[in-house]
Structure 1
Amino acid sequence: MSASYATLLVEEHADRLVVTLHRPEARNAISGRMIAELHDVCAELERNPKLLLLTGHGGVFAGGADIAELRERGRDEALQGINSRLFERVHRLPMPTVAAVPGWALGGGAELAYACDVRIAGPEAAFGNPEPGLGILAAAGACRRLRELVGASVAKQVLLAGRTLDAQGALACGLVMDVVPADRLMTEAHTLLDRMARSSALALRLTKLVTDAPGAHPVADDLAQAVLFESPDKQERMTRFLEKNGGRT
């Protein structure tokens, strides 16, 4: 990618994009400028599908949305869904997305992490949605997405009772895949993406599409499988497997 960003650090690799939220003066708070730049990243990943690794600079994922900007937003801005439209776009990216959460992921930062397919955490990670204390609700996906991820009881503890899920709490309720030492977080995140990258890219795309489809139906599985059964990649992978195992299944 040739674009330069004011609020992001972007590294492009052959099979993945690594995006670091970078507003150190504001704990990586999600501003309008960051939203616009993340839309640019999404547009690139929609044109050229790759795995996405999303993290935050300086031991913080994102300390929330930019409160100064939120204070100036009114009804019209709320109806535009400024944050929610972006997070839904992240959620619908064609290839899997991983959030590596080193520390605080609050408010809009938590909602951005919830929008990713998989989360991996450092020991200082913490997820919370304190929006009602500011007179608003977590309207960028948390009210429905967190319930899907951890169940209604834990979601209401976070959204209504102000509970902050620390790393072990997030692991216990399945919000994160693993908790790893801080100095190993990015290494382990890349190891996870390496494992994904060894799979068929088309199979990953279709699996994600079927898994996320509302009102999933067996026919969707059949249609996706029909596409994959005709792919040269499937033939090559299964042939290698059989040759490696002497023709045994």
Structure 2
Amino acid sequence: MNSLRIEERDDRVIVTLNRPEKRNAIDAGMVAALHELCASLEERPRLLLLTGGAAGVFAGGADIGQLRDRGRIEALAGINVGIFERLRRLPMPSLAAVDGPALGGGAELAYACDLRICTSRAFFGQPEVRLGIMAGAGATYRLPALVGETLAKEMLFTGRRVPAAEALAIRLVNRVVEEPDELLPAAHALLDEIAAGSALAVRLTKLAVDAPAAHPVAELLGQAVLFEDDEKRERMEEFLSRRRPS
């Protein structure tokens, strides 16, 4: 687990990518560590905050030294896409806090999170075609869903880097902060907003939104569970009591 630094709290887990000497490049060791993290969050669901630490980089991409030596068998195994899919399916919301570059697999790691905030010096890009490969860990379908097909194709075809201001304008990120030291407080503030709600309601909402095909049945089933939940009754009774005349 050396490639990740993990801080556990009651309602969230803060994970810092920890390969600063390699610009947090995603290698097999980090993938294994992320699988262990996912197993823990599947067993005990909590919010996830994922960040690149104080090195001024979120993740510079997949480890090129390892990619160079992979063949079609490894490509078909979906080493990186597998862990990113698992991150995406976590029971509770995840938030990527991005400072500096998020490129290639690093950008795809951020896309796999439910929410993204970044600093003003952050930027995102998919340079894979310039290395003779294609974005193969989620960008070809997550990026169009996030920013639209036309812009996603431009980013994927050219490898152009998208700076923070543009990322906010195209809704690739939820928020931008000016300074690096504002990033984690802003990330925790957003998670605090989520944590203020019913954990079960948040979990079922995420499940409905992430369903492979949007369907009213997903909402109906989630709502049916919540209508029988004691916390729902307590929260609504509290709401009504604040509005009753004294």
Cα deviation, 1:161-202, whole Å, max 9, x if unaligned, reads: 222110001000001001002211000000000010010000
The match for 1:137 is 134
Distance apart, 1:245 and its partner CA: 2.0
Please give the alpha-carbon distance, in whole angstroms, between the structure 2 residues aligned to 1:95 and 1:236: 22
**Alignment deviations for residues 144-176 of structure 1 (CA, whole Å, 9 cap, x no partner):** 000000001110111002221100010000010
- The reply to whether residue 237 of structure 1 matches residue 235 of structure 2 is yes
Provide the rounded CA distance (Å) in 2 between the counterparts of 1:46 and 1:6: 21
Q: How does 1:31-70 map to 2 (within 5 A)?
A: 31-57=27-53, 58-70=55-67
One-letter code of the match for 1:119? R
Counterpart of 2:172 in structure 1 is: 175
The residue correspondences of 1:147-158 to structure 2 (distance < 5 A) are 147-158=144-155
Structure 1 letter corresponding to 2:173: V
Partner of 1:123: 120
Structure 1 residue 220, shift from structure 2 partner:
1.5
TM-score by length of 2: 0.97
Within the alignment, does 1:159 sit opposite 2:148 as a pair?
no
Which 4+ residue blocks in structure 1 deviate beyond 4 angstroms? none
RMSD of aligned alpha carbons: 1.1
Corresponding letter in the other structure for 1:37: A
Residue in 1 that maps onto 2:143: 146
Q: 2:191 matched to which residue of 1?
A: 193
5+ long unaligned stretches in structure 2: none
User: What is the deviation of 1:219?
Assistant: 1.6
Distance between the aligned counterparts of 1:134 and 1:104, measured in 2? 17
The equivalent residue for 1:86 is 83
Aligned counterpart for 2:208 among listed residues 210, 226, 230: 210
Aligned partner of 1:71 among 68, 71, 92: 68
Counterpart residue type for residue 165 of structure 1: V
1:104 to 85, 101, 104: 101
